[in-house]
Amino acid sequence: MTPDAPSTPDRPLSPRRRRLLTALDRRVRRRRLMTYGVLAMTLGVMTHAVVGENGYFATLRARREQAEVLDALTRVRLENQRLQEEIRRLREDPAALEAAARSDLGLMRPGETLVVVREAKPAPPDGGR
């Protein structure tokens, strides 16, 4: 016998025999497999409910977007009301029309002198040297 070879038992090695399962063992194994299957399906459904296309996180994101759109709509409505009021004033009040013409178009009455005031540049801190 060589030192590398395993020792041989008295009887020859045979393939490992499978133990026959009793009816109770089969039922327990089937119940365990069903439990694992139901657990896996439940975890899948729960994951989809939280992060899926129509899940909890998608609902939160949609609510946040809805609030932003409603805020934008409110701002646009207020701006629309302001512009409607300005249109009404320009149609009905000649003084408002004149003020708009002077500020937007730079118009003047005959005989008026335009004076443009520009801000002076500040003097350098070192006295201009």
Segments making up each domain of the chain, as ranges:
23-52, 56-109
What element of type H or E holds 52? none
Residue 29, amino acid: R
What global pTM score does this model have?
0.49
Read off φ and ψ for residue 113, nearest 5 degrees.
Answer: -115, 130
Per residue in 19-76, pLDDT (tens digit) is 777 888 889 999 999 999 999 999 999 999 888 888 899 999 999 999 999 999 999 9
Number of CB atoms found within 10 A of residue 58's CB: 13
Distances (CA, A) of 104 to 23, 57, 68, 116: 95, 49, 33, 15
Distances (CA, A) of 55 to 48, 65, 78: 6, 15, 35
Q: Each residue of 75-98: pLDDT tens digit?
A: 999 999 999 999 999 999 999 988
